[in-house]
Amino acid sequence: MKESIKYIFRRLGFATKVNTFIIGAQKCGTTSLHEALCSHSRCIEAPFKKELHFWSNGPGPNSLANYESQFPFVSAKFRLLDSTPNYLFETSVISRIHRYNPNAKFIVLLRNPIKRAFSAWSMYHHAFQKRELFGEALQSTTLEILKLQSMRRWLPRLTLRSKRIIWLEGTIPINCVPS
C-alpha cells in the first residue's frame, strides 16, 4: 500500500498509529526490553531498524508518512513499538509524540548515571578500542544528568496510564523525578 494512502487511513482511524515508545539512556536495558517485548505476538517493531530517531529529527524517516510506513498496517489491538532511547533527552519530543498520538504509552528506562557511564565507557574502551580515560567519560555524564533534569518539565504532563518508569538499580532515589 502506498505511503500516502496508509497515512490517510491511519488518520481516519482504520489502523493504529505508533503507540508505544521505549525511551532512556544508553546502557539502561532498552535493547533487552525491546527484544523481550517484540517476542510477544501483539508487539510489532519497525522491521529494519530499532531506533528510528524520527521524533528527534535524527537520521531516519523524514516525514510522518515515511515514519508510519516503517510499520505494518494493523488494528489497535497491536502495539507498534518505537525504541529510540535518546527521545528522553529532547524536551520537545514527548510533546510532539503526544500531539501525534495522545494515547501513546511511554516506557522510561533509567539507571544510576555513574554505573551507566562506566558501562558505556567499558563497552567503547574494549569493543572499539577507544582510549578515553573514565574521568573524561564522566564529563559527558554530567551533561546527561543536566539533561535528565529536563524530565521534570515533561514527565508530570503524562498521565499515570501512559507512562511506566523502570529503575534498573536501587541506587537512584525514587523521588528524584516527580510521578
DSSP letter for each residue of 22-70: EEE-TTSSHHHHHHHHHTSTTEEE-SS-S---TTTT-SS--SHHHHHTT
| Domain boundaries, given as residue ranges, for the chain | 3-167
Angle at 174 between CA 35 and CA 169, to 5 degrees: 45
In tens, the pLDDT along 126-163 reads 777 667 777 776 666 655 665 555 565 556 566 555 55
pTM: predicted TM-score of the whole model, two decimal places = 0.73
Kindly report, residue by residue over 26-82, the tens digit of the pLDDT: 778 888 888 888 888 888 888 778 889 999 888 878 888 888 888 888 888 889 999
Instruction: Please give the residue that has the higher pLDDT: either 25 or 45.
Output: 45
User: Does the domain at residues 3-167 carry the CATH identifier 3.40.50.300?
Assistant: yes
Residue 100: what pLDDT?
92
**Residue 153 confidence (pLDDT):** 59
